Homo-oligomer: A and B are copies of this chain.
Amino acid sequence: MRGIDVFAIFNFYQSNNSSIAIKMKSQPITIKDIARILGISPSTVSRALKDHPDISPKTKQLVQTFAEKVNYRPNALALSLRSSKTNTIGIVIPEIVHHFFSTVISGIEDVAYGRGYNAIICQTNENYQREVIDLQALVDNRVDGILISMSKNTHEFAHFENLKENGVPVVFFDRICEQISSDRVIADDFEGARIATRHLIDKGCKKIMHLAAPQHLLIGKNRKEGYCSALKEHKLSCDDRLIVKCDTRETVFARADDIIRLAPEVDGIFAVNDSTAIAAMQVLQRNGYSIPKDIAVVGFGDGPNANIAYPPLTTVEQKGYDIGQAAMRLLIGHIENNVDEEEYETKIFTPELVERASSQLGTEY
């Protein structure tokens, strides 16, 4: 008897729903809807859907097939509110357009999806204000944890402290914040720069110019020091005169005169990143220098550009994918073992040299 009634309503609902679906935007169906239609309580529906032993097989069957038919999906907002667990993590990065960050994201996402987490990506465009706003929005939406790579223009850290006060686990990667104690995953910039510079020396370079990033950035500092270290290793002097401050395509062109002035006495260039290296090659080529015949060049952070450059650029690969995976694993550890131990970990990935034409000093390409 009851069964017949129920299925009558069932069918009515179905046809009714599909007919109105054409005219109006139907709200997603809820457990309460199902309960009302089937004439049972929401709690029973909830339990039936998750095979709770208190529910009779018949009821389970009824509810489950009905839920299937109407394509029921639990409201994630309600679940999160009740459980205070969103299964979502936030990623805050300066710019997604950078190949390095894109690969980091891929690493993060692959681990995240595998463990049932969703990732929401925020880009700050190197803007401090945006970083503050993005982090606040993530906290407001109760993400379970956050992965951050700092903006270049961030010099205050209250918004980071704020995360800890709100109990949000955080892992910094690449652009870490020295003033905040936390888990960290970084590329070994010092060692990478040393490898790159050593390579130039091995290729026969005697006087190597360095195109450097601002020294208040860890990246800039560490890469410069790695460069100096390799020079000293080989009894070469680390001359400040050979260090030109430019770390983007634009700044290279802006300081082109300085580079050209130094070029005659130089036979190698180590640039703080690939686009700087490529821009420098172009500046030199336009001024009559041949690369790598006259001057060998090495970049940093292998992106797809390195292959496209003329000549193809020797560079050190930064292992963004691995860094992303490691960062996500660390974060999950903090989220799931709600251990309050402030035992922070730092993982370091050493870059690897990718040798191409641009560093073969003395050869024609």
Query: Which residues of A come within 8 Å of B, CB atoms?
Result: 21, 23-28, 71, 73-78, 80-81, 84, 86, 88, 95-97, 99, 102-103, 105-106, 109, 113, 118, 120-121, 123, 125, 133, 136-137, 139-142, 162, 164-167, 249, 275, 278, 304-305, 307-310, 338, 340
Q: A73's closest neighbor in chain B, by CB?
A: B140
A278 near B308: Cβ-Cβ < 8 Å = yes
Interface centre among A73, A97, A140, A338 (most CB of B within 10 A): A97
CA distance A96 to B97 in the complex (A): 7
Q: How far is the CA of A194 from the CA of B277 in the complex (A)?
A: 35
Per the bound structure, the CA–CA distance linking A278 and B28 in Å amounts to 48
When distances are taken between beta carbons in the complex, the residues of chain B under 8 Å from A340 are 23-25
Which residue of chain B has its CB nearest to the CB of A138?
B118
A307: chain B residues at CB < 8 Å are 249
Within 8 Å by CB of A165, from B21, B76, B80, B164, lies B21
Residues B123 and A73 in contact, CB atoms below 8 Å apart: no
Set B78, B86, B136, B305: member contacting A305, Cβ < 8 A: B305
The answer to whether A120 and B123 touch across the interface, beta carbons within 8 angstroms, is no
Give min CB distance, A29 to chain B, whole Å: 9
Q: A120-B121, A167-B25, A340-B23 are in contact. Are A102 and B97 (CB under 8 A)?
A: yes
CA distance A164 to B141 in the complex (A): 25
A81 interface neighbour in B71, B81, B141, B164, Cβ under 8 Å: B81
Give complex CA distance A56, B347 in Å: 55
In the A-B complex, the 3 residue pairs with the smallest Cβ-Cβ separation, listed nearest first, are A310-B310, A25-B167, A97-B102
Docked pose: A162 CA to B162 CA in angstroms: 40
> Which of A106, A140, A162 has most chain B Cβ within 10 Å?
A140
Contacts beyond the supplied A77-B86, A95-B102: 19 A-B pairs with Cβ under 8 Å? A25-B167, A26-B166, A27-B84, A28-B139, A28-B167, A75-B140, A75-B142, A76-B142, A77-B77, A96-B96, A96-B121, A97-B99, A109-B123, A120-B120, A120-B121, A305-B305, A308-B309, A309-B310, A310-B310
- What is the chain B residue whose CB lies nearest that of A310? B310
- Name the CB-closest residue of B to A311: B310
Instruction: Flag if A77 contacts B308 (CB, 8 Å).
Output: no
Give the residues in chain B near A86, CB-CB below 8 Å: 77
Least CB distance from A174 to B in Å reads 16
Q: In the complex, what's the smallest C-beta–C-beta distance from A180 to chain B, in angstroms? A: 15
Q: Which residues of B contact A74 (CB under 8 A)?
A: 140
**Beta-carbon nearest neighbor of A166 in chain B:** B28
Cα(A77)–Cα(B217), bound, Å: 37
Q: Which residues of B contact A75 (CB under 8 A)?
A: 81, 140, 142
Q: Which of A25, A73, A125, A278 has the most CB of B within 10 A?
A: A25
A89 to chain B, nearest CB (A): 12
